[in-house]
Each structure stands twice: as C-alpha cells, then as structure tokens.
Amino acid sequence: MPPMTVDAHVHVWDISGGKFQVEYDWLAETSEVLRRTYTLDDLEPDLGRYGVDALVLVQAADSTAENAALLDAAARAPRPAVVVGWLPLHRPERMPDALSRYPGLVGVRHMIHRDPDPEWLLRPEVSRSLALLAEAGLSFDAVAERPDLLAQVPVIAARHPTLPVVLDHLGKPPIAAGGWQPWADLLAAAAAQPNVVAKISGLATVSAPGFTAAHWRPYVEHTLAVFGADRVMLGGDWPFTLSAATYATVWRATLDALADLSPGDRAAVLGETAARIYRIPL
C-alpha cells in the first residue's frame, strides 16, 4: 500500500470577495496569473493524478472572515481537509473568544513577511497569544521568508516549547542564486528547537526558470539532515506556484528531490508528519 500523501499547503480565494467579503490587497502586487478566483475544483484533477489523500488549506488574508470561507471549503472537499486560519494574535484579550468561534482550526498563521513591523512575531502580546495556541493544541505556521524572520523562529519556539511551529517554504532558500548562507545556518538553528517542523513548499517561486529537482536537492537534503524526516512535510503552495510553474511540475520536482529516501522516511515526509502536526482525520 503506498504511503499516505498530504499536500500541506494549499490556498483558495475569491477575488470578488464572495459572501464572506474577504479582500486580498496583496494581489495587486503579484503576478497576473494569480488575479482570479481559485477553488479546490480547479486543483482536483491534479490531486487525483498524484494520489493526494488529504489537504491543509492555509490562510492568505489576515482576516477572521477568511476562516469561515476556508472551513466551508474544507467541509465540502472530496478528501479530508483541515484549515490553518488567522486569529488576532496581536490582541490576546480577544483570543479566547476567537478560539471558541473557530473550533475547526488546526493551526494559525499571520503574514509576518508582509507585516509593517519586522519584529511583529517577537511582540509580548503576540507571545501571550502563542501561549494560548499551545494550550488549545493548535500549531503556528511561520512565513519566515527573510533571514531576519527565519532568525526569529527558534526564539519563539524556545519561548513556547509545547507549540508546534511550522516553518513555511523552508524559509525561502536562495535557490535561484545558488546561495547557501545565512539560510543554511539559520535553518539549522530553527531545527535545534524540537518543536519546529519544516515544510518543503514554495520553492518554485524562488527558483530560476527551468528548475529541476537537482536545483532543489541540496536544500532539501540539508533540511532532512538537520530536522529528520519525522519533522518534515511537503506542500504544493498552489495556486501561488502557478506564477512560476504548474502544480504538476512542482509536485514531480518535489517527489524527485525525495527519491533517495528510505520507505519509512518517505512515508513520514509525504504524509505522516503533516497528519500528526495538523491532526488530520484519516
């Protein structure tokens, strides 16, 4: 029986706002291909083609309104799907009510890479909210796409040792330039905290055109070396990835980069880690 496969990083959005009136202001600054509505129906053929068993839907707006839209999409999905949403972590006094309003969330994310405050993640009030997440059994996804943000990941992980911290997109390694430092040491520092988990996702958008698995392999192998397979998961980052490559191209490159794993390690990366961290019912 093939190992369970989880795509742990999928987005959906409605540029018309939909009935939940969610606005995605950042779309004005991004690729034209992303400026349209994307639903799981658009992705379903590829999910079936590559044997994806379950999904993690991830927020793309710092808005509680989007939580309802994502939870509805997850409930209607033809395969198990869970949601990493958004809660007002900067307002810890509002967190108990917010947590009770969205009991279906398995994790929370804030778009720290777009926040005007580069040290938003280190704020005392955010720390109080992260403690509440840990108490509630939720995880936190860190979009640490810059070295300064990646350096903050082990800091918050050490402050909250019972909180699973998921590093999205491997902290965006400098693949296109063939760079290595400071990314490699910062990733190792994050991995030194046992509650940090790495997500192999979003690599297409930091790669040069015409990338192959060979371009990704050194970064993936370093990740596996410092984290271990039981703390690594993968995600397609659809539809963001469409600004650089098709879902099929990304998924094949990801699987090819993992081709040398043992069966046990492969099973962990393809699905077991994500199922454990995000409490996916299978």
The answer to whether the CB of 139 falls within 8 A of the CB of 277 is: yes
Q: What span, in angstroms and rounded, lies between the C-alpha atoms of 33 and 232?
A: 29
**Domain-embedded: residue 108:** yes
b/e map 193-205, b = 16+ CB within 10 Å: bebbbbbbbbbbb
Phi/psi of residue 181, nearest 5 degrees = -100, 150
Residues of the chain with pLDDT under 70: 1, 19-20
Q: What's the pTM value of the predicted model, to 2 decimals?
A: 0.96
158: Cβ contacts below 8 Å, ≥ 6 apart: 193
The answer to whether the CB of 257 falls within 8 A of the CB of 219 is: no
Cis peptide before 45 (omega within 30 of 0): no
pLDDT of residue 119: 97
**Domain-embedded: residue 258:** yes
**Domain-embedded: residue 216:** yes
Range of the domain at 105: 6-278
Q: From 242, 225, 234, select the one nearest 200 (Cα to Cα).
A: 234
**Domain-embedded: residue 237:** yes
pLDDT of residue 47: 95
**Domain-embedded: residue 1:** no
**Domain-embedded: residue 22:** yes
Q: What is the CATH number of the domain that holds 90?
A: 3.20.20.140
* Tokens of residue 260, six digits: 């040398």
pLDDT of residue 31: 77
67 to 26, 86, 88, 204, 279: CA distances (angstroms): 18, 7, 12, 27, 17
**Domain-embedded: residue 142:** yes
| Overall number of domains in the chain | 1
pLDDT of residue 84: 98
pLDDT of residue 173: 98
